[in-house]
Amino acid sequence: MEQNSEKCPLCITATATTTKNQDNGLYDTWLQCDGCSTWYHAYCVNISKEQCDLIERYHCTLCIPTHGPSTYKPKRRKSEREHTRLNYADLNEGKTADQKIWSKILRAKGFAKDPFKRYQGHQVTIDLLKETGMREPFVIEQPDGLDMQMPSSTTTISDIANAVGHNHPVEVIDVATQSESTGWDMGRWSEYYQSNERDRIRNVISLEISDTSFAKDIIRPKIVRDIDWIDHMWPKELKPVEYPKVQLYCLMGTKDSYTDFHIDFGGSSVFYHIFQGSKIFYFIEPTSKNLKKYQKWSSSPDQSITFFGDEVKECFSVHLKAGNTMIIPTGWIHAVYTPEDALVIGGNFLHGFNIGTQVRIFDIEELTNVPMKFRFPFYKRINWYAALRYHDQLNQDNNEKSLFTYYELESIALLAYWLRKEYMKIEDKSKNIQSIDIPSEVNDPKGLLTDILTGVEKELKQANNNNEVDMNLFKNKLNFGKSEKKKKKKEKKQKNSSSVHNTPRIVLKLNTPSPSIPEPITRNNNNDYDDDGDDDDLIINNNYEDDDEYGSIEEEEEEGITDDEEISKEDLEIMDSDDEEYQEQQVQRKKSTISRNNNRKRSRTLSNSNNDSDNNNNNSSSSSDDDLGTSKRKNKNMNNYKRTTFESTRSSSSKKQSTVKQRLLERVSKRL
């Protein structure tokens, strides 16, 4: 550390020297320009100590024209992985000094117009949710009829700070890097928010206010209160002490704030009321395909340089203004942009209309190792409490119309199957040990879940005129056992594999011949014969996908297959891939191979006509049969050559050629 008495190139006035002597602490931090290696006081270049910690490469004003603006360190993600630089659009070179980069990115993108419903407050009822299953976001443009109470539009940040407490800690997000800034409280945030000159764009999205005096005059919409599991499933005697504190948040965003694409924890739904400013939401539907892409994107080291909206087919934009309220259902992937300073009241809640997606989001969080800090609190436990409540409701002696809609019955069944899966994990890990996630009220978890499924089946049969119901349809929706089956299948393949190669297995299967005797294939009058090099038609038979009988021969001869093989690529597939893009590539390869084979035919015909005398004395050039290890045929024998049919091959057991295809034929013959 340099002595405080030393000056930097910007310490040129007596005033600066006097100030430096009065408060040496301001001059303890130095910055070196990465362009010219000159040292500056951070104070002299108007950069705070906190900002210094964020800088990756600093360029002074003289070096900016040559080296570009200063860059900031990449954000620290929840998974604590290292990242490449944030480089959307202009950011390829790490130029994150532009605080308004997100607004530029969003303006450069195209978004679909939203198809979501707009309702009046009195229309949003339980009956509406039972009818629609609460599958899409919807907007209530006016608060009338929602039976809620929200802060006045004249509420200020100072009012919020006074109600919450100036010393109340606040998690602040640095928008440019999408990383958390530490050391903030409501007092400091209030000063920043009301300042006319903000050094950086910052955002607050996770200030939970349930236990503060600010929440006393806030009442959530009635529709939320009517379905929230915390209100209806969580034991009332526990709530004063321990419960999921996610019901009421105050969000405070400054102009040009942005929150990247995410799914609310545990697949919880959200109510969102704007009482000052405006917001723009970008929504992506939680289809299976989109959720898989989201899981891959959120786990990728390239997340910080990939705009997720570009990875999907449709991304809808919704512009909300002051006074608007929105309900965001389970699992919807969304990003949020703030075109002007905005104050919002929101809250998360679980419900019984789409439990399948809720637990699927939880499973994604498990697979991507989301820290517990960013999870829905007591998630498994509240699901068990919900199971207890549904069990009691299903076992009520009620001969009248069912209390549940199909959406709810489907959700209850999926809840039971998911809890059964979770309970099996506990049993595998610790026999006869009650998990802390299972409430003490659940004496017999297996029996409880079995009773629930029986009750659901009974309700569905009653609604279906007592016709049988296939409960496996619900189980399959959660893909239970799929991963385990894949794992076992992989282990089985590895066990039967003797190859040391890492190349994909090419599975060659024989097409079963027709019962009628096939016509023998003979050469034509021009002494030309099928020049694609095949002695038999080889195809892929999907019925043999799991058949391991061919394992050794497939891998034994894998390396012998070269680009010159003339076994038609139309008859080959890679069995280990179901990727559509990959299959399209294979189709292109097939087309190019057909063209190549046709060129070979023409060239060979021309060669044969020009070299008749040589053909009587010399062997023919290597064909695909040779590439596969088959013996070469001599041209002097080709005049009498007749292609062997499948039936004749089966009957000729006396000839045992050491060729790949012959061995393959013999194996198939034994199977038949």
Q: Are residue 260 and residue 393 in the same domain, yes or no?
A: no
pLDDT of the residue at 444 = 92
**Per-residue pLDDT for 331 more than 80?**
yes
Closest CA to 251 of 202, 284, 181, 217: 202
- Mean pLDDT, range 57-65, rounded to an integer: 85
- Please check whether residue 623 lies inside any domain of the structure: yes
- Please check whether residue 577 lies inside any domain of the structure: yes
Domain with residue 203: its CATH number is: 2.60.120.650
- Please check whether residue 496 lies inside any domain of the structure: no
Estimate to the nearest angstrom the gap between the alpha carbon of 395 and the chain centroid: 38
- Please check whether residue 491 lies inside any domain of the structure: no
**Per-residue pLDDT for 13 more than 80?**
no
More confident site: 242 or 602: 242
**Could you read off the pLDDT of 576-606 as tens digits, one per residue?**
344 444 445 554 555 555 555 555 444 444 4
- Mean pLDDT, range 536-540, rounded to an integer: 34
pLDDT of the residue at 492 = 62
- Please check whether residue 1 lies inside any domain of the structure: no
- Please check whether residue 3 lies inside any domain of the structure: no
Burial of 26 (0-12, 13-18, 19+ CB in 10 A): middle
**Per-residue pLDDT for 622 more than 60?**
no
pLDDT of the residue at 476 = 74
pLDDT of the residue at 385 = 97
Q: What domain range includes position 223?
A: 133-377
Q: Are residue 39 and residue 138 in the same domain, yes or no?
A: no
**Could you read off the pLDDT of 511-520 as tens digits, one per residue?**
444 443 334 3
pLDDT of the residue at 668 = 67
Residue 496 pLDDT class (50, 70, 90 cuts): low
**Per-residue pLDDT for 546 more than 80?**
no
Q: Are residue 296 and residue 170 in the same domain, yes or no?
A: yes
Q: Are residue 22 and residue 164 in the same domain, yes or no?
A: no
- Please list the helix, strand and coil fractions of the chain in percent, rounded to the nearest 5, in that order: 40, 15, 45
- Please check whether residue 215 lies inside any domain of the structure: yes
Helix (H, G, I), strand (E, B) or coil at 339: strand
**Per-residue pLDDT for 655 more than 80?**
no
Estimate to the nearest angstrom the gap between the alpha carbon of 153 and the chain centroid: 38
Structural domain ending residue among the three candidates 377, 399, 418: 377
- Mean pLDDT, range 561-581, rounded to an integer: 40
Q: Are residue 277 and residue 393 in the same domain, yes or no?
A: no
pLDDT of the residue at 629 = 35
pLDDT of the residue at 157 = 95
More confident site: 531 or 468: 468
Q: Of all residues in the chain, what percent carry a pLDDT higher than 90? A: 42
Distance CA(210)–CA(280), nearest Å, equals: 26
Whole-number average pLDDT of the chain: 74
Domain with residue 30: its CATH number is: 3.30.40.10
Structural domain ending residue among the three candidates 377, 403, 437: 377
Indicate the angle between helix axes 445-463 and 406-429, nearest 10 degrees.
160
- Of these ranges, 27-31, 180-184, 239-243, 276-280, the one predicted with the greatest mean pLDDT is 276-280
**Per-residue pLDDT for 247 more than 90?**
yes
pLDDT of the residue at 86 = 42
HSE-up (13 A, CA, CB side) for residue 626: 9
Look at 296-300, 469-473, 573-577, 666-670 and tell me which has the smallest mean pLDDT.
Answer: 573-577
**Could you read off the pLDDT of 342-384 as tens digits, one per residue?**
999 999 999 999 999 999 999 999 999 999 889 999 999 999 9
- Please check whether residue 120 lies inside any domain of the structure: no
Burial of 324 (0-12, 13-18, 19+ CB in 10 A): buried
Q: Are residue 347 and residue 239 in the same domain, yes or no?
A: yes
Query: Any idea which residue has 């060659």 for tokens?
Result: 508
Estimate to the nearest angstrom the gap between the alpha carbon of 416 and the chain centroid: 25
Residue 474 pLDDT class (50, 70, 90 cuts): confident
Q: Are residue 533 and residue 450 in the same domain, yes or no?
A: no
Q: Are residue 207 and residue 142 in the same domain, yes or no?
A: yes
The continuous run of DSSP H or E covering 538 comes out as: strand 538-539
Task: Give CA torsion, residues 480, 484, 490, 494, to 10 deg.
Answer: -160
- Mean pLDDT, range 653-671, rounded to an integer: 62
Question: β-strands 202-208, 538-539: how paired?
Answer: unpaired
Q: Are residue 316 and residue 348 in the same domain, yes or no?
A: yes
Q: Are residue 299 and residue 203 in the same domain, yes or no?
A: yes
Q: Are residue 151 and residue 252 in the same domain, yes or no?
A: yes
Q: Are residue 457 and residue 548 in the same domain, yes or no?
A: no
More confident site: 567 or 598: 598
Distance CA(139)–CA(324), nearest Å, equals: 7
More confident site: 161 or 590: 161
**Per-residue pLDDT for 281 more than 80?**
yes
The structural domain count of the chain equals 4
- pTM of the predicted model as reported, rounded to 2 decimal places: 0.61
Structural domain ending residue among the three candidates 57, 72, 107: 107
Burial of 341 (0-12, 13-18, 19+ CB in 10 A): middle
